[in-house]
Amino acid sequence: MASGGSIQYSGEVSATVDASGSRSSLQEILGAMSNIDALPEVSKSEMNPDGGHTFSVTFPTSMRDVPQLEVYLTEVPVYVSTVEHANMLDGFFRLEYDGEITEPIPIDADAFQMQMSLSDLSSIGNVLVTRSEGDDQDGYTWTIQFVSDENSGNLDDLIVHSDNVSTTGSIGGASVAIAAGGTDGSFIGGTFAITFGKFPVEI
């Protein structure tokens, strides 16, 4: 699921280039390319038995899952491999309310998809849903407002079933979480008095 901008070519890279610390370093050369968001992290190994070095390049998370670098022209042997892909979210999850569970909801569901999935449950009336912009790993935040009388007052939190949420990288640990509590329903409380003539009546 690699994604990125247009093809760009870097400036010439010396066989003895430093990892970082100068304008001629590999970090600065890569960072000067217009389709790279910011300076990547670059490290350089000790000299290999064949006299060469191994460079490790980590691109900014804002670039998501990028295509592998390719060597354009070279006078020395250069090999490129991808050690770790970006950790992007994938799969689907379900939401449970009052014993009912939704059909699978895509991890990138838009506001309308989320609204329809919840409204399909007989225990939930009308809801209003908004969704945030996606983050660097395709993660979203949905804000759900219950607007039907049948779901009035303070409601129990939704229960998440996220066993089928996964990641494209080996880091793992993907899940869907509910911000417990939310905003409570609005209740009227207190006392008031009704006055008829000279005799107030406490209610």
Whole-number pLDDT of residue 155: 84
Do 103 and 197 fall within a single domain? yes
Q: How far apart are the first and last CA of the chain?
A: 66
d(C-alpha 165, C-alpha 175), whole Å = 6
Do 163 and 91 fall within a single domain? yes
Q: What is the mean pLDDT of the chain?
A: 86
Domain boundary among 27, 51, 86: 86
Residue with tokens 């979203």: 140
Per-residue pLDDT of 66-106, as tens digits, reads 889 999 888 888 999 988 888 788 899 999 999 999 999 99
Do 54 and 100 fall within a single domain? no
The residues, any chain, with a CB within 8 Å of residue 97's CB and separated by 6 or more, are 118, 121, 123, 124, 156, 158, 159
Do 42 and 136 fall within a single domain? no
Do 98 and 177 fall within a single domain? yes
Element (H, E) at 144: strand 142-146
Per-residue pLDDT of 128-153, as tens digits, reads 999 999 888 888 999 999 988 888 87
Do 135 and 186 fall within a single domain? yes
Residue with tokens 């009052």: 98
d(C-alpha 161, C-alpha 95), whole Å = 6
Do 113 and 57 fall within a single domain? no
d(C-alpha 147, C-alpha 151), whole Å = 7
d(C-alpha 91, C-alpha 86), whole Å = 16
Domain boundary among 31, 52, 86: 86
Do 102 and 138 fall within a single domain? yes
Nearest to 200, CA basis, from 192, 75, 16: 192
Q: How many residues does the chain have?
A: 203
Give the structural domain span for 65. Answer: 1-86
Domain boundary among 54, 86, 118: 86
How many domains are there within the chain? 2
Do 79 and 95 fall within a single domain? no
Per-residue pLDDT of 8-42, as tens digits, reads 899 899 988 999 999 999 999 999 998 888 899 99
Do 110 and 64 fall within a single domain? no
Checking if the pLDDT of 2 tops 60, the result is no
The residues, any chain, with a CB within 8 Å of residue 73's CB and separated by 6 or more, are none
> Of 18-22, 28-32, 56-60, 168-172, where does mean pLDDT reach its minimum?
168-172
> With bands split at pLDDT 50, 70 and 90, how would you rate the model's confidence at 1?
very low
Do 50 and 62 fall within a single domain? yes
Do 184 and 101 fall within a single domain? yes
